[in-house]
Amino acid sequence: LSGSSGETKGIFTPRFEDYQKVYNEVAERLEEKDDYDDGSYGPVLVRLAWHASGTFDKETGTGGSNGATMRFAPEGDHGANAGLKAARDFLEPVKQKFPWISYSDLWILSGVCAIQEMQGPTIPYRPGRLDKDIAACTPDGRLPDASQGNKHLRDIFYRMGFNDQEIVALSGAHALGRCHTDRSGFEGPWTFSPTVVTNDYYDLLLKEKWSWKKWNGPKQYEDKTSKSLMMLPTDMALITDKSFRPWVEKYAKDNDLFFKDFSAVITKLFELGVPFAESTEKMTFKPTNA
């Protein structure tokens, strides 16, 4: 039976091959729909998976990617989630085509797919998340506020169960995508290649001269050289904080180390609070461009 989907007494049991089909469908849509933003839905899919996961609170075990509660208005309307409807709408046809997968598993699988298809490291994936109802929506304020500093970053990420090294490794995701004035209020990309996973974020943080952008929007930094890149106050905290900075320096020097640590930490993020069955297999999807 290996290589085919199991069907026992009418209950469909998806296997690795079935998840790879979902992966391929998301990858194909990423390729097709290249007229969005910088040419890819990849970054916003990564942000969706992160915001689904980043609500986790280790004390109460609430929040996290198990539940996909951002589908419901209270959580979907939280300021931090502005703009993520674009990602959820992008995935809706995939959910229609593969109705057996939960939204919670689909959002995380799509984050994995987006990272790999944007030439990032391999991210192992485990399925098993179940969608919850509106009552499981998390309170507003669990995701980080970009206008704050190092203390706030620690408050937010320690609550999820991360340490300083992991905070810095996760932040490398800002190699991807951009800020939108009609979403967060901030404006611009962090790197010159916002649809490719690289360690450029760290390199630019250290090598560029950053000064406050002169504009009427929220306080953000602008690079002196091109004046087309940006950093958030929370990004800058990674080089002003004594304990964060050595990790920025390591990742700027060593892309392989960044890829290794980023893969490990994003896998941890995506699995926060998910009660996997003991027997759940770790899957490694084949990128379509490999």
Burial environment of residue 91 by CB neighbours within 10 A (0 to 12, 13 to 18, 19 or more): buried
Q: Are 201 and 71 in contact (CB under 8 A)?
A: no
Q: Are 284 and 131 in contact (CB under 8 A)?
A: no
Count of chain residues binding ligand ZEM (CB under 6 A): 24
Is 174 a known active-site residue? no
Cα–Cα distance measured from residue 249 to residue 265, given in angstroms and rounded to the nearest whole number: 18
Asked if 179 is part of the footprint of ligand ZEM (rule: CB under 6 A), the reply reads yes
Asked if 171 is part of the footprint of ligand ZEM (rule: CB under 6 A), the reply reads yes
- Applying CB under 6 A, the span of 18-26, 45-53, 91-99, 222-230 interacting with ligand ZEM comes to 45-53
Tell me the closest approach of the beta carbon of residue 178 to ligand ZEM, in angstroms. 5
Cα–Cα distance measured from residue 247 to residue 239, given in angstroms and rounded to the nearest whole number: 9
Cα–Cα distance measured from residue 6 to residue 127, given in angstroms and rounded to the nearest whole number: 16
Site for ligand ZEM in 242-271 (CB under 6 A): 266
Site for ligand ZEM in 147-166 (CB under 6 A): 153
Q: Which of 50, 107, 190, 210 is catalytic?
A: 190
Is 51 a known active-site residue? yes
Cα–Cα distance measured from residue 12 to residue 48, given in angstroms and rounded to the nearest whole number: 27
Asked if 144 is part of the footprint of ligand ZEM (rule: CB under 6 A), the reply reads yes
Asked if 64 is part of the footprint of ligand ZEM (rule: CB under 6 A), the reply reads no
The correct pick among 55, 69, 138, 234 for binding ligand ZEM (CB under 6 A) is: 234
Cα–Cα distance measured from residue 19 to residue 195, given in angstroms and rounded to the nearest whole number: 24
The correct pick among 46, 91, 118, 160 for binding ligand ZEM (CB under 6 A) is: 46
Residues that bind ligand ZEM (CB under 6 A): 43-44, 46-47, 50, 83, 144, 146, 153, 170-171, 173-174, 176-180, 183-184, 186, 232, 234, 266
Q: Known catalytic residues?
A: 51, 190
